[in-house]
Every structure is written in C-alpha cells, then in structure tokens.
Amino acid sequence: MTTAKTTKKQSKQGFKPGQSGNPSGRPHGSRNKATLALEALLDDEGEAITRKAIEKALDGDTAALRLCLERIYPPRKSRPITLELPTIETADDVAKAHGTVIGAMAIGDITPEEATVVAGVLEAKRRAIETCELEARMTALEQMKG
C-alpha cells in the first residue's frame, strides 16, 4: 500500500499524524500479567527455590553455580581507573592526554573499552575548548567590525 493510500485510509478513521490510536494508552506503571503471576509464585516459593539452587550449586551443578554467582557477584559494568592526565586547557593538551590514554591501554593498565570511554570524555573537552575559542574569535571580529 502506498503512502498516499495509507494516509487516505487513516484520515477516514480519524487519525492525525502524531496522534495515537489509543490516546489513553496503557496506564503508567501497569505491570505485565505474566510478570505479576511469576512474582506471585516467587513470593510463596522464592526462598525454597533459592535454597535448592544453592544446594545444587554446592553439589557441583555448574548451571546452578553460575546462576548463584551471577546473583551474588554480578559482572561489573565499569571500574574506577587512575590516569595521570595533563591539565587540559588547549587542543594540544587534549592530544597529549590521548597519548597518555593510548599508552595506558598499550601496557594493559586500562582496557580498550575504558580507553574508549576516556577518549570520549577528552573529545567532549576538545569540543568545549573549540567552541570557546570560536566564540572568542567571533566576539573579537564583531568588535573590530563595529
């Protein structure tokens, strides 16, 4: 069906662009029925199920062991890192800081993912410096002109 035909069909139904077919929609904070049923089950049996999983893990069931460990010690999303970065006031300082980050990654002090995050922060700093420099240059030109 082409866009024109779709638009024509929708206009017959009273829909307008950007308007939901159900303006009241699903109530905010409402829960899925399956989730509610599962939570009700776990309210009654959660402790027994947890105890059984721990017993199986202690008996050597690797799946149960992995499940227990994931709950006790979930994978860390990030960690604090320490890098001696130069004071960053110019774009040249940003380039030097990038060198420090690359060096730390190369010797294994930080992971490539951590280096990517720090590089992103440095890039944001570089853009801020560039914006300030451009604003100062524009102000100077406007003062010279008028």
pLDDT at 35: 83
- Give the CA count within 13 Å in the CB-facing half-sphere of 146: 3
Nearest to 115 by CA among 73, 85, 75: 85
pLDDT at 10: 54
Sign of the four-CA dihedral 29, 32, 37, 43: negative
Over residues 73-117, the pLDDT tens digits come to 777 777 888 999 999 999 999 999 999 999 999 999 999 999 999
| Sequence spans of domains, the chain | 33-72, 91-145
pLDDT at 67: 83
Which residues does 1 contact at the CB level (< 8 Å), separation at least 6?
Answer: 9
Kindly report the length of the chain. 146
pLDDT at 132: 94
Sign of the four-CA dihedral 120, 125, 126, 131: positive
Assess whether pLDDT exceeds 60 at residue 48. yes
In eight-state DSSP terms, residue 110 is S
C-alpha dihedral over 84, 89, 90, 93, to 10 degrees? -10
Alpha carbon distances (Å) from 136 to 74, 133, 142, 143, 146: 48, 5, 10, 11, 15
pLDDT at 7: 58
Mean pLDDT taken over the chain: 84
